[in-house]
Amino acid sequence: MRFFFLTLLFIQVQVAALWSQDINLGKPLPNWERGYLDIHHINTGRGNASFLQFPDGTTFLIDAGEISPLEPRIFSPRNASIKPDYSEKPFDWIVHYIRTVKPDIGTTGIDYALLTHFHDDHFGAMYPGAPLSGTGKFGLTGITGVGERVPVHTLIDRGYPHYGYPYDMKLQSTQYGGGEIEFGETMKNYFSFLQYQIEKGFKIDSFRAGSKTQISMKHDPASFPGFFVQNVKSNQFIWSGKDSSVQNVFPQYNATDRTTWPDENSLSLALTIHYGPFIYYTGGDNPGNVFAGDKPWRDVETPMAKAIGEVDIATMDHHGNRDAVNEFQVRTFRPTVWIEQVWSSDHPGHEVLIRATSPHLYPGKRDLFATNMLEANKNVIGPLIDRAYRSQQGHIVVRVFPEGKKYLVIILDDSRADMVVKAVFGPYYSKNKQIK
């Protein structure tokens, strides 16, 4: 059996080489080239971060997570270690990764950075002892650390400009935070970072559900008419699936009754990226499974899936946790590739993995890739993990070829700062379906 899988991997690498002779095991990933779409899922072991280069060279960062080192579980078997090592903070490893794949980033800057929601593993936790910015006005963690090291031209989040839904985040984050350590200080630090960046000419915007022009190519959009980013969900608003119209999926809430508020995960932003026939989905920590005592409208995956339809690649919502990746989403998305951004032993939930791999929900081949599968999770779930995942450890790069008709999945070694290629899978072929 081991010989079979090694032979299959060898064949996949050789087939991939037909499309790009420069992608070789043990060597650095060849640089992005004009006309390609690169999607990098960066593994620091401390949260989500994805860096994209559009076909015209526009750059896009989705999340920059950094869990507080004071979190009690952080050094237990339940959590991943920092990748590649503890010599740098997670935000510096994110910057190192981006500078490695785009060496001129310090000069050009990042065109867009988007925060899916305000949880530390997606935008960074402030904590006592965090390094300070050059001005001393804010601490460096997650997005504030990345923004200090690399210029960001436009930052998009779910709260700008008022940060008042479902509560006043500028005044009440300490009282109503999500239970994370020093959450009030984290939001205060974030607002200090924003204020400093605004003074420097930095642009901030709120994510507009339904739009497919808000995040656009900055350098040469006319050469790539088949490329666009579709904004799917922002807070309570979800794209209808037609033109730019949206629906409000949450009922009215009582500002004085916290039990009526949507939680932070269900407020996550979501989007799809389209390149010709190729479609990629990512949606932060949006939930889709409603448990006893939950509000039924906490299932936001179902209305999103109805609007989106089939995709080629889907990142697992909420890292594949048990409250996400519901049956309707799996049945509707039918991705060829599932990508799971992992840092905890409850990523994925056992039931999630069963749904994602079930031939009864949709037929045909599908490949699963995880950034950081933990031994604790493998001990609980058992051999299904080894059967399901093509790769369980490493940075995951999706390289979509010009016109979007085919793509590779490339695994980079996250234990090394030079991030050499560990494995290459594909080519995969995008589904031939009409773009909405």
String of DSSP letters for 204-267: EEE--TT-SSSS--SS-GGG-TTEEEEEEEETTEEE-SSTT-EEE-S----TT-GGGSPPTGGG
Flag whether pLDDT at 16 surpasses 60.
no
User: Which whole number is the average pLDDT over 49-58?
Assistant: 98
Q: How far is CA 73 from CA 79, 187, 217, in A?
A: 7, 22, 41
Flag whether pLDDT at 15 surpasses 50.
no
pLDDT of residue 435: 43
Question: How remote is the C-alpha of 158 from its chain's centroid?
Answer: 15
Q: Encode pLDDT of 369-401 as tens digits.
A: 999 999 999 999 999 999 999 999 999 999 999
DSSP string, 317-384: GGGG-TTSS-HHHHHHH--SEEEE---BTTSS-HHHHHHHH-TTTS-S--EEEESB--HHHHHHH-TH
Three-state DSSP class for residue 61? strand
pLDDT of residue 177: 80
Question: Which stretch of DSSP H or E encloses residue 303?
Answer: helix 301-308
The band of 13, judged by pLDDT with boundaries at 50, 70 and 90, is very low
Percent over 70 (pLDDT), the chain: 94
Flag whether pLDDT at 11 surpasses 60.
no
pLDDT of residue 256: 86
Flag whether pLDDT at 436 surpasses 60.
no
User: Which whole number is the average pLDDT over 408-426?
Assistant: 98
pLDDT of residue 64: 98
CA 143-148-150 angle, 5° bins:
90
pLDDT of residue 433: 52
Q: Encode pLDDT of 218-250 as tens digits.
A: 999 999 999 999 999 999 999 999 999 999 999
pLDDT of residue 432: 74
Q: Encode pLDDT of 344-374 as tens digits.
A: 999 999 999 999 999 999 999 999 999 999 9
The band of 8, judged by pLDDT with boundaries at 50, 70 and 90, is very low
Q: Encode pLDDT of 126-154 as tens digits.
A: 999 999 999 999 999 999 999 999 999 99
Rg of the Cα trace of the chain?
20
DSSP string, 115-148: --SS-HHHH----TTPPBPTTSSSB-STHHHHHH
CB 238 within 8 A of CB 226: no
Residue 319 and residue 242: Cα distance in Å, rounded? 28
Q: Encode pLDDT of 173-187 as tens digits.
A: 998 887 777 999 999
- Strand-pairing partners, residue 28, are 420
- Could you tell me the two tokens for 225? 């008419």
Flag whether pLDDT at 2 surpasses 90.
no
pLDDT of residue 18: 43
- Could you tell me the two tokens for 237? 């608003």
- Lowest-pLDDT range, 63-77, 234-248, 420-434? 420-434
Q: What rounded mean pLDDT belongs to the chain?
A: 93
pLDDT of residue 3: 44
User: Which whole number is the average pLDDT over 54-60?
Assistant: 98
- Could you tell me the two tokens for 181? 């350590």
Q: Encode pLDDT of 268-305 as tens digits.
A: 999 999 999 999 999 999 999 999 999 999 999 999 99
The band of 434, judged by pLDDT with boundaries at 50, 70 and 90, is very low
pLDDT of residue 181: 79
pTM of the model: 0.94
The band of 424, judged by pLDDT with boundaries at 50, 70 and 90, is very high
Flag whether pLDDT at 310 surpasses 60.
yes
